[in-house]
Amino acid sequence: MLGKIFLIVILFVLPKGMQGETPLSSGQNSFPRIRNIKIVIHDIYETEPDKRARFPYRLANTLHFKTKDFVVRRELLFRRGDVVNDILLQETERNLRNLLFFKDANVRKININQQQVDVLVEVEDQWTTVIGTKFSHEAGESLFGIRLEEYNVGGFGQTIKFSYSQTKARSYREAALMEPRILNTRWSFTYIHKEHFDGHSDVVILHRPFYSQFSRFSSGVYWERFEGERYFYPDVGESLAYDSEQATFKTFVSRLLDSNGWWRSGVSFFSLSKKDDYKKPEDRSKVELSQVKLRQLTLALSYAKLTYIEETYLDRFARTEDVPLGQVVNLMLGCTSRFYGSNDNNVYLGMIWDQAWRMWNTHYLYMGFYTSCYFSGRTFRKLWHEGSVKYFWRLGARNTLVSNFRLTLGERMPPERQLFLGGINAIRGLEEKQLVGQNRWILNLEDRFFTNLNLFDFYLGGIFFIDVGNIWFSTSDFDWKSTCASAGFGLRLGNSRVYGSKVTRLDFAFPIHGPVKFQVCFATGQFFGAFKSLSYINPFPRLFGEE
């Protein structure tokens, strides 16, 4: 019976997803139409005459490849002769800004008469070439590394990355290529190759997202293969190495269901083949990991009703950030079956709920919840629950108080599904894999301030922070006395003229409670972002890492 239901829904989802994507009827003659579209692309410092005449800035403009006109034009959600749709103008502006190699984007209409308007699309380029080196010496071992990244190759919009690092006994290599618009279509292609001392992996992604509220369909294929050594941490201070081979394949198709752009449905297929071999047979008594074959077919229904607010000085200094407000709900029903190659028969249940509010103009609240499990017979297993709450309070034009609470609960999970309490994105002052478990809670509090102090457009900011959290394997292991806490301060450096306007952070953490020690943390990006991207959520947001 379940198989028949799946077949009916698949037949319903697929055929209508390939229709055209014009949200308004061509018969609406009472509305003005677009007479002409003008594209204006500014070089990095072209809009600042006082800077572009000075040598460092003039050199940056000279060395930089200006973005080509067609790269902007292919992002437009409207054409000459179309009825003017303010929603599509706003979405085009957000899509251009989301490319990250533009500092900012503005799309505005110029009224010609009652029947015609012109549309002006104006963007500002950023510096997109990143060349970096890394050197460290710890425990008698030296590490040297170099990386080269270009996010707008020749002004055509492609991305290439290469990095290499070497110690006396180990080496790391990584290369990546991304083509965001294959043959000027909405399909993107990504290839990533990694070679580490413990193995190598390849990833291939072919993806067509919901790029607009009125996009009719989305689809994608993901393939990954890994061969090498993995690590399992059965207890504090213990580690277990084992050889692993893993092949992953994911594909999905989803479509828009209504004219408002709120409801979407989809079907996905997920395949995982994994084989683990221990190097030390005597350690098998600690944990059982066996060969896994998982084939899962999933149906999904999603609801997303969103509005957007433009903000600055939340995460990226003066760069405009599009903050999504509203609600997103995803419901998923799937099954694994021996019929198409799985180890066993199970029913999969999953749900994602996200809600974001703006209150009293200066307060933002985000709440999110994710849950999933497998059901067989009368038994639930692999129960996984995640909840998060983020709160932002604009104390001033350049001062924001932020908090972030995360709770993760796992029950009857495979032993290799582990969480860590330490690291640069959990509790500062703990080593990344110092404390492990399958359940944890973390609370981060930050007072962020942004200043006008700058050198060559690198602006200085800072924070004061407190991190608190706990981690455990099972309910019987939980102990409030094991709670860890740290506090400290940090520096933030941001440049709105560099790709993505990413923030570089340097944090100094001091111990308050638990096995926390003084630690200096250096990384890119804020410790946690204002809001994750809720726009055009797929019915399968976790399939391609679109959380």
Domain endpoint, select from 71, 92, 125: 125
* Helix, strand counts (H, E) of the chain: 5, 25
Structural domain containing residue 275: 198-524
Residue 243: what pLDDT? 78
Residue 545: what pLDDT? 44
- Compute the distance between CA of residue 379 and CA of residue 346 in angstroms, rounded to an integer: 10
User: Can you name the residues that pair with 270 across neighbouring β-strands?
Assistant: 250, 296
Residue 286: what pLDDT? 47
Q: What is the CATH number of the domain that holds 37?
A: 3.10.20.310
Nearest to 196 by CA among 160, 169, 224: 169
> pLDDT in tens for each of the 547 residues of the chain?
444 444 444 444 444 433 334 444 344 456 899 999 999 999 888 777 766 667 777 787 888 889 999 999 999 999 999 999 999 999 999 999 988 889 889 999 999 888 999 999 999 998 888 887 766 555 456 668 888 999 999 999 999 999 998 877 778 899 999 999 998 899 999 999 999 878 899 999 999 988 888 889 899 999 999 988 777 666 655 666 777 888 999 999 999 998 888 899 999 998 888 877 765 545 444 455 557 788 889 999 999 888 888 888 888 787 888 888 989 899 999 988 776 666 678 899 999 999 999 998 889 999 999 999 888 877 887 888 999 999 999 988 889 999 999 999 988 777 667 788 887 678 888 877 778 888 999 999 999 999 888 877 788 999 999 999 999 988 878 888 889 999 999 999 888 788 777 788 889 999 898 888 888 888 777 777 766 655 555 666 655 444 3
Residue 295: what pLDDT? 86
- Tracing tokens 């999603």 back to the chain, one arrives at 302
- 462 in the same domain as 359: yes
- 321 in the same domain as 408: yes
Residue 367 domain-assigned? yes
Cβ count within 10 A of residue 291 = 11
Which pTM value belongs to this model? 0.84
Residue 158 domain-assigned? no
- How are beta strands 263-278 and 240-256 bridged, if at all? antiparallel
Cβ count within 10 A of residue 45 = 23
- 77 in the same domain as 224: no
Q: What is the CATH number of the domain that holds 350?
A: 2.40.160
- Compute the distance between CA of residue 186 and CA of residue 160 in angstroms, rounded to an integer: 19
Residue 487 domain-assigned? yes
Residue 121: what pLDDT? 96
What does each C-alpha distance from 234 to 292, 438, 533 come to in angstroms? 20, 11, 35
Write phi, then psi, for 127 (nearest 5 degrees): -75, 125
- 212 in the same domain as 65: no
Helix (H) or strand (E) holding 56: helix 55-63
Residue 530 domain-assigned? no
- Compute the distance between CA of residue 230 and CA of residue 199 in angstroms, rounded to an integer: 9
Encode 54-85: b = buried (16+ Cβ within 10 Å), e = exposed. eeebeebbeebeebbeebbeebbbbeeebbbb
- 399 in the same domain as 257: yes
Are 241 and 230 spatial neighbours (Cβ–Cβ below 8 Å)? yes
Residue 51 domain-assigned? yes
Are 408 and 372 spatial neighbours (Cβ–Cβ below 8 Å)? no
Write phi, then psi, for 73 (nearest 5 degrees): -60, -35
What does each C-alpha distance from 293 to 97, 245, 270 come to in angstroms? 41, 12, 11
Domain endpoint, select from 90, 109, 125: 125
The total of structural domains in the chain comes to 2
Domain endpoint, select from 106, 125, 144: 125
For 150, the token pair is 């270009």
Residue 33: what pLDDT? 93
- 321 in the same domain as 218: yes
Residue 111 domain-assigned? yes
Residue 10: what pLDDT? 46
Residue 237 domain-assigned? yes
Alpha helices in 387-464 (DSSP H): none
- 204 in the same domain as 100: no
Residue 140: what pLDDT? 58
